[in-house]
Amino acid sequence: MTSLSVKTVPSKSKFDFGEFFRRYGTAVIFLLLVVCATMLSSSFLSERNIMNVLRQVSGTGIMAVGMLLVILTRGIDLSVGSIAALGSVLSAVIVAQYSTGASIAMVILAGAACGMISGVLVAYVRLQPFVMTLAMMAIARGMALIISNGQPIMMGERGDTITDFGTSFVYGVPMPVLLMLGVFIVAALVLNFTKFGRLIKAIGSNEEAVRLSGIPVARYVLAVYAISGALAAVAGIISTSRSGVGSATVGVGSELDVIAAVVIGGASLMGGRGSVFNTLLGVLVFGVIGNIMNLINVPGYHQQVFMGVIIVVAMLLQKGTGWLKR
């Protein structure tokens, strides 16, 4: 049976710590954090707190899936936070005139369109992904500010269905969390068992070899940016659904959180390497750290420093133990 992890390495008879951490580093960090959190705060393991953490990371998680796909192709998408803001604003504006279903579809399409613009310029015109999505980050945020005129937009009664989604539970699990898990499951299936998934990993590993195998590489690259944009818009809708307000200041700086989560999940910015399951763990690690520090009242500024340290530790663990010997 194929495991969820992307890289399967032939097992050796001897236990290899470096290899172990490369593959399960994120899981180890996650478990350690959970153990620490349980010891530090009695309320951490309560159902309410767990669901709270999950709900907080649902937007980041959904964006992380899109980011993982982009990073696998050796790209980067800095525009996700801004597209989420555009999605948040648009959903509040559009739902005032159209039905809920049509509004959601339009918002997701708008996000996908932003992603496609980046995708076309990256895949066909060969602009560098960093620069292109940096531009899209400014453009999408600017659009969100223009449309909202810089003001929060209340959804009103017409947005009740959306607000219901953000605030309701199924068997005690918030809907956005279920949606996030659904996105992760679909992504895991796609990445591990479909042509699309295999090819985007292959493109990140050696684009030229894939092209010379007769694969239309640009089409796949375009697709991952479009997916990333669409998922960012979904994250924007979730934000609106939780607060009932469309805001152009949603997701400021969140592209960095998303990239950090994907990287903590072991994906390589050089492309070709990363797994959906570990990305989910990376997102959870991020959520749990923030949660513990809130529970034990660590001031916000200190939290940032600690966050940064955790990213470095995670990277070192995944690098294996080899660097210790040098």
Q: Which helix (H) or strand (E) holds 133?
A: helix 129-148
In terms of residues, how long is the chain? 326
Query: What is the smallest separation between the CB atom of 195 and other proteins, expressed in angstroms?
Result: 5
Binding residues among 266-305 for other proteins as defined by CB under 8 A: 272-273
Max CA separation in the chain (angstroms): 64
Q: Cβ(84)–Cβ(250) under 8 Å? A: yes
DSSP 8-state secondary structure symbol assigned to residue 321? S
Binding residues among 213-252 for other proteins as defined by CB under 8 A: 213-216
Query: What is the smallest separation between the CB atom of 201 and other proteins, expressed in angstroms?
Result: 7
Using the rule CB under 8 A, give the single segment among 122-130, 154-162, 210-218, 230-238 that binds other proteins. Answer: 210-218
| Residue 14 touching other proteins (CB under 8 A) | yes
Query: What is the smallest separation between the CB atom of 2 and other proteins, expressed in angstroms?
Result: 7
Using the rule CB under 8 A, give the single segment among 8-16, 28-36, 227-235, 292-300 that binds other proteins. Answer: 8-16
> Nearer Cβ to other proteins, position 10 or 299?
10
Q: Which listed residue (208, 297, 300, 323) binds other proteins by CB under 8 A?
A: 208
| Residue 62 touching other proteins (CB under 8 A) | no
CA distance 220 to 186: 17
Binding residues among 138-157 for other proteins as defined by CB under 8 A: none
Binding residues among 107-136 for other proteins as defined by CB under 8 A: none
Q: Cβ(9)–Cβ(19) under 8 Å? A: yes
CA distance 261 to 214: 34
| Residue 319 touching other proteins (CB under 8 A) | no
Nearest to 106 by CA among 115, 97, 94, 117: 94
β pairing state of 245-246 and 173-174: unpaired
Nearest to 85 by CA among 257, 231, 239, 226: 239
Can you give the binding site for other proteins, defined by CB under 8 A? 2, 7-10, 12, 14, 189, 193-196, 198, 201-202, 205-206, 208-216, 272-273
